[in-house]
Structure 1
Amino acid sequence: MKLLHLLIVALVSVGMMACSSTSPSVIAKPPQPLFMDTHFSGFDQLQVETEQEVFALDEDMIRFAEKVSAGANEPKAAAKQLVRAVFGRASLNLLYDNEANTIAQDTFHNRAANCLSMSIMTYALATQAGMQIEFQEVDVPEFWTRRDGYSFLNGHVNLRITPKRSPNTIYFSAQAVEVDFDPQVMSARLPSRTVSKQRVLAMFYNNKAADALVHHNAKQAYAYSRAALLKDPSLAEAWVNLGVLYRQNGLLEAAEQSYQRAIQLEGSRSAQENLAVIYNMTGRQAQAQQIIQALEEQRASNPFYHFLLGEQEYELAHWRAAIGHYRRAIELNRQQHEFYFGLAKAYYEIGDLALTERYLKLAKRRSVNDHDEHRYQSKLNLLTKL
């Protein structure tokens, strides 16, 4: 099983909550031997966006930020006004797109975003509006998605906006506004920690590296992975992706070292699983099996793990096996629309249109944004024509 870290999340909401935070760690340069520049000749000729380019605003964005934050009676209201304008359908009308790993300007004009690109754009707009803003990394449970034959282990980032306080004014209530894509993350009140702008930039590079891996562009994947680790060598998921790249290019020893580095940093389960792949490839089956068994025990109660297994079985056309995994996922968590859609598509493949319709309706009912609701309704409309 190939696991890549990719920092994406699904939905949009606005809310406030108290969060724990820590100071950003001091960043040291990574050990150079783990870079394999000579094996990816020409990577340094590729353009990697600078920090200024990633967060830059153009004139339209500047006008937008100033307009939507103007006229508020108090700083907290100004922050919420900005957030509503960013998320509101009448304004930007942003759509979720897990592949939209874009700089702030492209996110603004393309009107499509994942959680990281949305956070980057909102950070830039709020800063222009004179607000203080922090990135937060949320400790979400292991959550996978499938794309082009790869399994992506997703992380989550949101924002905490603190309006600029007016002088000589006393505030009697909390002023912070938390901005999050996913209402389920908000309602779960998961712990979070403040992370630096530098780390977020490393996450952006890492997402670009993951995209390049999926598209089999090794040189670009290396350029972005290298940039991520130079920006923040403590980013474990960047070491995982670098290890995947090394393994794909036959650099097994370097891949193993990269996975070990990720495990040292965060005990990364995806790094452990990828390490087991290396062990199997190099005749260390007993060690590989020990890792896999321990991971399966840890993940037995994780609905997203069973959903991932269902997706993998579906891709192999093992429809009945896929149904079993999707049902187990639903037993553990009945709120995820993706689980019901998994059942719907599997039942469609075995010709049971009644159950296909039933689970499409359940998926639609549990949708948390208009985009997914319309998507499921479109499939229901097609189903009635069969």
Structure 2
Amino acid sequence: MRSGAVIAVALLSACAAAPIAPPPPDELLRDALFGPASERISAKDVFALSGAMKRYLRQDLAGAMATSGPRQALIDAVSQGQLKLEYDSVRTRTAAEAFEARAGNCLSLVIMTAAFAKELGIEVQYHRASIADMWSRDGNIYFLNGHVNLSLGKRYVDPRTLYDAAELMTIDFLPGRELRGLRTEPVEEATIVAMFMNNRAAEALVRGRLDDAYWWVREAMHVGPAFMGAYNTLGVIYMRRGELELAERVFRRVLAQEPGNTR
């Protein structure tokens, strides 16, 4: 039976850094409660380049790379309109899907840009933004929205100067007026992948595909065990399945890791 309660899901949660969590314990996962996924769920797909993306680098971007270098050519392509990218929050896309659609939310566009950068041998650093809580609603589910961006630059061997600010170029897909005063913290690529999986789980929840939502969030927990947003989503999934005791156990785990996070 579909729950009538208002439920909150952390979508690209922007909480402060939490203590590193161990891999998800088996007692929090209940595979037997869910049917098989209706779509492929694999972390390997997130940054994978399609044939069209590789051709774009070889053909369309070749001239600009020869003139201004790979990093500047890529920055111009994603920020100056050459790719004609559009913001679309309906679905979180892989790198290949975002390129094909020429659209995506901030996470999708960051993933696409990073996939190109890694193919070109450009160093990538990901950032999670500290922003005021932004909530959205779909039916009886509330979503806490967050934001990410990325920087492209040169990595130094000296650990005291891991990145030189002069060598970093930050790409952000928010409008310029929304970037003023934006504070960020670095996150690992595994966390970006976990965010992607968690977003897909939330999107499956909205469409009523509870089995898919479970398998997406399960993958998120394995890829990024320190990302508590995925645990929160798992608790919501258990609530929807009527497993309230399991949901409570998961939420208690989140609060144990992030005592100050009551969102």
Work out whether the TM-score is over 0.5. Answer: yes
| 2:116 maps to 1:122 | no
Paired letter, 2:12? L
Alignment CA distance shift 1:107-1:8 (3 Å): farther
Pick one of 4, 17, 30 that aligns with 2:9: 4
Aligned AA for 1:35? L
Please state whether the residue corresponding to 1:244 is helix, strand or coil. Answer: helix
Q: Does 1:215 align with 2:220?
A: no
2:137 counterpart SS class: strand
Q: CA RMSD in A?
A: 2.6
Unaligned runs of 5+ in 2: 1-5, 157-163
Question: C-alpha distance in 2, partners of 1:240/1:160?
Answer: 29
Equivalence for 1:331: none
SS of 1:5's partner is strand
- For residues 151-197 of structure 1, the C-alpha deviation after alignment (integer angstroms, 9 at most, x for no partner) is 110011110110479xxxxxx9701011111234531131x222111
Q: Which has the higher contact order (CA 8 A, sep 6+)?
A: 2
- TM-score, normalised to structure 1, is 0.58
- The normalised TM-score by structure 2 is 0.83
* Greater helix fraction, Structure 1 or Structure 2: 1
In terms of Rg, which structure is larger? 1
Match of 1:296 in 2: none
- Gap change, CA 1:268 and 1:207, over 3 Å in 2: same
8 Å CA contact 1:161, 1:176 repeated in 2: yes
Identity score, percent: 31
Q: State how many pairs are aligned.
A: 244
Q: Please state how far the C-alpha of 1:252 moved relative to its aligned partner.
A: 0.7
Distance 2:199 2:152 in 1: 24
Any conservation in 1 of the 2:214–2:234 contact (CA below 8 Å)? yes
1:206 to 180, 198, 205: 198
Partner of 1:358: none
Out of 36, 45, 48, the position equivalent to 1:42 is 36
Q: Which runs of 5+ in 1 are unaligned?
A: 10-21, 166-171, 271-386
* TM-fit CA distance, 1:210: 0.1
Cα–Cα, structure 1 residues 203 and 173, in superposed 2: closer, same or farther, change >3 Å? closer
Q: Is the 8 A contact 2:10 2:143 kept in 1?
A: yes
- Matching of residue 70 in structure 1 with residue 75 in structure 2: no
What's the CA shift string for 1:336-383, capped at 9, x where partnerless?
xxxxxxxxxxxxxxxxxxxxxxxxxxxxxxxxxxxxxxxxxxxxxxxx
Output one character per residue of 1:248-299: Cα deviation in whole Å (capped at 9) or x when no partner: 11111111111122222233332xxxxxxxxxxxxxxxxxxxxxxxxxxxxx
Aligned mates of 1:260, 1:71 — CA distance in 2: 54
Cα distance in 1 between the residues matched to 2:185 and 2:133: 17
SS in 2 for 1:126: helix
